[in-house]
Amino acid sequence: MDRSGDYLDYTGRADRLSGGARRIPIDTPNGRFSVWTKRVGNNPDLKVLLLHGGPGATHEYLEAFDSYLPRAGIEYYYYDQLGSGHSDQPDMPSLWDLGRFVDEVEQVRRALGLSRDNFVLFGHSWGGILAMEYALAHQQHLRGLVISNMMASAPAYTAYAEDVLAPAMDPEALREIRALEAAHDIENPRYMELLLPQHYEHHLLRMPAAEWPDPVQRGLGHTNQAIYVSMQGPSELGMSADAKLAQWDRLADLGKIEVPTLVVGAQHDTMDPAHMEDMASRLPKGSYLYCPAGSHLAMYDDQETYFSGLVGFLRSLPPGT
């Protein structure tokens, strides 16, 4: 029995829970676990699988989609990746591996019956890395792809954080933040006390943190820090040199992704909007959505721009083959 009290049948079928939710068995090098998904809407021709960020966050902060995609007639799936949210959370660091996560997404796709006729993969932040990797490995199954608020190079992301974002912060606050990171003391309440006004309220979600919507509070509050630190590192300003994703770079490979792809960037993002515009130009069928008032969570602080562009892209996709 998992921690939510729902039993999984390990014969290979996905259990159906209430309210469109399902638990899907996932085979890994460390055994079989289960992940949680939830379908919203019904459209046989257009189904969007949502990959949340983190790594290690949850689907919850993406609940803004409920205000836009249902009325546009778009079917979509919430999904907590292994180690996150309602999914199993094994204490096995070797599972926090990019290639294994790609294989997990492919197993979820098969279980949900998604195909080139209808399958659009959406990835936000870390989910964007996962979406790019999935497309490079399995694009034959995709009708379309969305890369939201994620650069195609971890070194470029770190350089942008260090060369552009960090120098704009209060120098004393930045020194204290760096000292806490160097001491691996990011659980210290002082760390978040400094980050919220100095960084998050400028580049994560541009409103006072006390006013952040409930889905954001829940999604970030439930982040599995073991996954996050392993893959991203303890810093919120770029990736640590010893993080698993520190040298990840797919900028030169974007030309291999041949499905229609939307890249979303925002002026105040933690990610460089110019880099994301360049990504769109490198994709054979790429387009760029720019959110001038948005930050990393542009689906909240530039909501109309974000969702009008996203829905427009989804509706414009050529029919599935």
Catalytic residues: 125, 269, 296
Distance (Å, rounded) from C-alpha 61 to C-alpha 244?
24
Under 8 Å between Cβ of 6 and 37 = no
N-terminal to C-terminal alpha carbon distance within the chain: 40
